[in-house]
C-alpha cells in the first residue's frame, strides 16, 4: 500500500473520499494549516505516518510568505526522511482582484512558480503538479467555491476535488510505473475518415483542411507519443494491400508503416489478433490500450480481454484530439522523464522480433554463440539512477524479490557504504539494448545479501542472468565478502526465477532462502 500524506493551508478533507477510490493508497491528512509544523516537527503525525509521497497543495493568497519557506520545510523533512517524493501544486492567483490591470499579482505568481520549477529541476524527489493547467481546462469558477471557503476554509468545489483526485490518480500511474506500453489502433474512421476498402486510398478523409485535418492532427499526436517510448500496433479488418496502398501513396499520411511495431491486418477477430501481439512482444495484455471507433469491436475486445484498456472513442469527431490527450495519454501514458531506452523503444522491439525469427532457424547453443553477446556490468551514477529505478518498477517476471524503488532511493543506496548496486547493459550483433538488468546488494561486514536481482524479459533465454550473477559474485569477492545470501519472494508473475539461485549453485535453505560461499 503506497502511503500518501496531504498537506495544505486550506481544508482538504473532502478530497479523502475521492482518494479512497484509488485503492493502492493509504492516507494521512494534516490538520488545517499544519503543513509547516508537520514537516518541521520530528514528532509530528506526518513523521509517524512515514509517507512514501507527500502532496502539498497551497493556496497562493493564503500563502503570504516567500518560496523559501516552502523549500526549507521540504528540505528539512527530506534530510530526515530519504526517499520521500513530494508532489507540489503550482500556484494560481484568484482571477478576482481589485488591482485589475496592474499585473503585480500575476508577476508575483510567475515568480513563485519560477522558483518552484527551478527547485524541482534540481531535485529528483520533487514533482510539480500543474494545477494551473486544470484551472485552464475547467475554469476557476468550476473548481473553486467561495461558499465553502467562508463556512469551513474549504477552497474547492466538489468538482474541484474530483478533478484533483483524478489528476493525482494519473500522476501515481506515472510515478509508480503503472503506465501502459502499447497503443493498438484501428484504421478506418480512426486514423483516417472513411473505409479504405470501399473508397480507395485516394478518397479517405485525411487532409490539411476540414475534417481530414482532425485525423491528420491525431496522427501527429500518435507519432509524438511513439517518440516517448510507446509502441504502436495496427489491428484492422481490411485487405493488407488496400492498407499498404494508403501508406505508400497517400501523401497526407503522417504515420509510416515502420512506425508500427506490429501489423495485424486481416479478417480475424480482433481479440485473437491482440492476443497474438501480446505473445510476440512478450508483454502482458494489461500493458496495452486499444482504440477503435466501432462500438461493437470495442465491446467484443473488452469482454474477451478484460485486462486490456479499451478507451471510449468520442462520438463527436471534432473532439478527437482533445479526448486523446485527456482520456488516453494522461491516464495511461503519463511520463516524467525520457530515457534513451524510451526514445529507441520501437527499434528495440523490432530487434526482438528479428531475433525471434533467427532463433527459429538455429540450434539454441549455436544461436547464443552467434549473438556475440557483450555485457557491461557497472556501478550506476546519476545518469543511470532513473533507468535503474524504472527497471525495479516495471520488471515483473525475472525479478527475484519484486521490490520497487524510486530514483532518489537508488541514489541514496548508491551513495551508502552499506549497499552496492550493479547495473547491466547488453549488446549483441543486432544492436545495443541499453541497461537491462540490475542487482542491489546489502553489505554487512563480510556477508552480502542480494536484496534485488532482476533482468528485463527481453534478454531472457540467453544465460545472461548467470553471467551477470557470476560477475557480481566476483566483485563481492574482491570486497572481501565471504558469504552471499539471497532470497526468492514469490509473486504471481515471477515463478520462472524460483530455482535460479539453486541452478547457479547456491545451497538451498528453508523458506526460499539461499546461500553461497565466495572465498
In the complex, the residues that contact another protein under the rule CB under 8 A are 11, 13-14, 17, 145, 147-148, 150-152, 154, 157-159
Least distance in Å: CB of 135 to another protein?
Answer: 19
Least distance in Å: CB of 159 to another protein?
Answer: 7
Between residues 152 and 505, which has the closer beta carbon with respect to another protein?
Answer: 152
Least distance in Å: CB of 13 to another protein?
Answer: 6
Least distance in Å: CB of 145 to another protein?
Answer: 8
Beta strand pairing call for 260-265 and 374-378: unpaired
How large is the greatest C-alpha to C-alpha distance in the chain, in angstroms?
A: 80
Least distance in Å: CB of 62 to another protein?
Answer: 18
**β-strand partners of 87:** 55, 127
Between residues 17 and 372, which has the closer beta carbon with respect to another protein?
Answer: 17
* CB of 368 closer than 8 Å to CB of 463: yes
Between residues 34 and 339, which has the closer beta carbon with respect to another protein?
Answer: 34
Between residues 157 and 179, which has the closer beta carbon with respect to another protein?
Answer: 157
Least distance in Å: CB of 154 to another protein?
Answer: 6
Return d(Cα 251, Cα 265) in angstroms, integer: 21
323-328: long-range contacts, CB 8 A cutoff, minimum separation 24? 324/218, 324/221, 325/221, 326/137, 328/183, 328/289, 328/291
Return d(Cα 377, Cα 374) in angstroms, integer: 10
Least distance in Å: CB of 378 to another protein?
Answer: 51
Contacts for 353 with CB less than 8 Å, ≥ 6 apart: 261, 262, 280
Between residues 17 and 340, which has the closer beta carbon with respect to another protein?
Answer: 17
Between residues 14 and 437, which has the closer beta carbon with respect to another protein?
Answer: 14
* CB of 280 closer than 8 Å to CB of 353: yes
Least distance in Å: CB of 161 to another protein?
Answer: 8
DSSP structural state of residue 52: S
Cα atoms in the Cβ-side hemisphere of radius 13 Å centred on 275:
10
Between residues 156 and 387, which has the closer beta carbon with respect to another protein?
Answer: 156
Beta-carbon count within 10 A of 15 CB: 23
DSSP symbols for 104-162: HHHHHHHHHHHHHHHHHHH-TTEEEE-HHHHHHHH-HHHHB-HHHHHHHS--B-HHHHH
Between residues 71 and 162, which has the closer beta carbon with respect to another protein?
Answer: 162
Least distance in Å: CB of 143 to another protein?
Answer: 13
Return d(Cα 5, Cα 476) in angstroms, integer: 39
- Taking alpha carbons only, the member of 52, 50, 13 closest to residue 31 is 13
Between residues 14 and 193, which has the closer beta carbon with respect to another protein?
Answer: 14
| Distance (Å) of CA 503 to CA 442, 484, 497 | 22, 15, 10
Amino acid at each position: 500500500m503506497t502511503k500518501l500524506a496531504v498537506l495544505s493551508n486550506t481544508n482538504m478533507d473532502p478530497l479523502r473520499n475521492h482518494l479512497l477510490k484509488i485503492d493502492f493508497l493509504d492516507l494521512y491528512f494534516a490538520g488545517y494549516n499544519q503543513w509547516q509544523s508537520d514537516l518541521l516537527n520530528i514528532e509530528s503525525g506526518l513523521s509517524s505516518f512515514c509517507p512514501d509521497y507527500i502532496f502539498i497543495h497551497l493556496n497562493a493568497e493564503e500563502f503570504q510568505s516567500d518560496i523559501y519557506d516552502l523549500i526549507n520545510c521540504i528540505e528539512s523533512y527530506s534530510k530526515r526522511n530519504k526517499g520521500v517524493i513530494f508532489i507540489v501544486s503550482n500556484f494560481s492567483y484568484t482571477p478576482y482582484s481589485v488591482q485589475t490591470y496592474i499585473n503585480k499579482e500575476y508577476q508575483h505568481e510567475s515568480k513563485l512558480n519560477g522558483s518552484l520549477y527551478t527547485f524541482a529541476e534540481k531535485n529528483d524527489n520533487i514533482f510539480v503538479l500543474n494545477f494551473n493547467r486544470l484551472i485552464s481546462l475547467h475554469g476557476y469558477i468550476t473548481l473553486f467555491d467561495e461558499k465553502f471557503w467562508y463556512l469551513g476554509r474549504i477552497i474547492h468545489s466538489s468538482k474541484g476535488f474530483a478533478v484533483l483526485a483524478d489528476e493525482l490518480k494519473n500522476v501515481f500511474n506515472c510515478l509508480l510505473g503503472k503506465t501502459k506500453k502499447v497503443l493498438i489502433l484501428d484504421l478506418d474512421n480512426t486514423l483516417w475518415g472513411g473505409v479504405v476498402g470501399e473508397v480507395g486510398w485516394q478518397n479517405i478523409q485525411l487532409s490539411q483542411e476540414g475534417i481530414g485535418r482532425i485525423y491528420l492532427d491525431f496522427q501527429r499526436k500518435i507519432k509524438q507519443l511513439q517518440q516517448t517510448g510507446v509502441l504502436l500496433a495496427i489491428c484492422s479488418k481490411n485487405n493488407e494491400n488496400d492498407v499498404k496502398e494508403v501508406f505508400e501513396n497517400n501523401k497526407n499520411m503522417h504515420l509510416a508503416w515502420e512506425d508500427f511495431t506490429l501489423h495485424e491486418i486481416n479478417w480475424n477477430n480482433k481479440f485473437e489478433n491482440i492476443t497474438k501481439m501480446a505473445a510476440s512482444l512478450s508483454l502482458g495484455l494489461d500493458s496495452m490500450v486499444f482504440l477503435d471507433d466501432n462500438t461493437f469491436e470495442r465491446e467484443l475486445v473488452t469482454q474477451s480481454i478484460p485486462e486490456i484498456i479499451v478507451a471510449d472513442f468520442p462520438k463527436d469527431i471534432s473532439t478527437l484530439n482533445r479526448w486523446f490527450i485527456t482520456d488516453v495519454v494522461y491516464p495511461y501514458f503519463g511520463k516524467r522523464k525520457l530515457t534513451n531506452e524510451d526514445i529507441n523503444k520501437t527499434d528495440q522491439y523490432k530487434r526482438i522480433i528479428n531475433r525471434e525469427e533467427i532463433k527459429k532457424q538455429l540450434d539454441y547453443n549455436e544461436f547464443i554463440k552467434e549473438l556475440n553477446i557483450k555485457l557491461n556490468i557497472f556501478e550506476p551514477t546519476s545518469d543511470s539512477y532513473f533507468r535503474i529505478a524504472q527497471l525495479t518498477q516495471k520488471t515483473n517476471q525475472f525479478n527475484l524479490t519484486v521490490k520497487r524503488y524510486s530514483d532518489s532511493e537508488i541514489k541514496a543506496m548508491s551513495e551508502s557504504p552499506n549497499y552496492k548496486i550493479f547495473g547491466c547493459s547488453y549488446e549483441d550483433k543486432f544492436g545495443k539494448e541499453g541497461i537491462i538488468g540490475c542487482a542491489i546488494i546489502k553489505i554487512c561486514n563480510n556477508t552480502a545479501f542480494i536484496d534485488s536481482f532482476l533482468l528485463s524479459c527481453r534478454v531472457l533465454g540467453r544465460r545472461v542472468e548467470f553471467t551477470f550473477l557470476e560477475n557480481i559474485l566476483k566483485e563481492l569477492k574482491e570486497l572481501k565478502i565471504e558469504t552471499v545470501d539471497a532470497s526468492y519472494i514469490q509473486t504471481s508473475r515471477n515463478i520462472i526465477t524460483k530455482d535460479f539461485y539453486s541452478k547457479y549453485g547456491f545451497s538451498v535453505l528453508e523458506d526460499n532462502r539461499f546461500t553461497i560461499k565466495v572465498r
